[in-house]
Amino acid sequence: MNGSSRLSAVVAIAFCATLMVMVPEVSGKRLIVGGSMGWTSNVNYTLWAGNQTFYLGDWLFFVYDRNQNDIIEVNKTNYETCIAEHPIHNYTTGAGRDVVELNVTRERYFISSKGSCYGGMKLLVHLTPTPPPPRAAPLKSHSSRFTVLRSQFVIPAVFAIAAIWDSLLLRV
């Protein structure tokens, strides 16, 4: 491999590494519905949901006794009246460990159709807009000169040293 090819490879690797550091991590969080109690009767899901913040891309994990309950998504009227007729979606797979991705920006309504809804086994999920990325702290006036020096001199100097180092290795 000649010097220019090696330098190109180093620059490409440095560029990719810089890009990976700059790209923020984007992933939803996993929420176990009802916390340690799971999806069961005698849990106040309104209170539980009030202590959560739901974002687009989050995942709801329903853990429940498959012989006692199910997970039915319904409209607002059916949520309020605990009617499971004409559901939007039935997420019950029979395993008692079902997952719902919060991938639409409307309110979501979940109930158990096996009678527990009347006892409060229903969940309203209100999605909050995704928060903006954190803002950088303001630069102090004396450090701004250093930032300019670093960006104008240090980074190019590192690449120049790498190129010189690379060319010296080729002579050996």
> pLDDT tens digits for 46-69?
899 999 999 999 999 999 998 899
Instruction: Determine the structural domain holding residue 148 and report its residue range.
Output: 3-25+139-171
pLDDT band of 170, cuts 50, 70, 90: low
> What total number of domains does the chain contain?
2
CATH of the domain at 69: 2.60.40.420
Distant-in-sequence, close-in-space partners of 64: CB < 8 Å, separation ≥ 6: 38, 39, 40, 70, 71, 96, 112
Q: Rounded to whole angstroms, what are the CA distances from 92 to 51, 62, 79, 169?
A: 25, 9, 17, 63
Output the pTM of the full model: 0.62
Which tens digits make up the pLDDT trace of 88-105? 999 998 788 999 999 988
pLDDT score for 78 = 96
Helix (H) or strand (E) holding 100: strand 97-101
Q: Are residues 51 and 121 part of one domain?
A: yes
Q: How far apart are CA 53 and CA 57, in angstroms?
A: 12
Percent above pLDDT 90 for the chain: 40
Q: Are residues 47 and 93 part of one domain?
A: yes
Tokens of 44: 């106040």
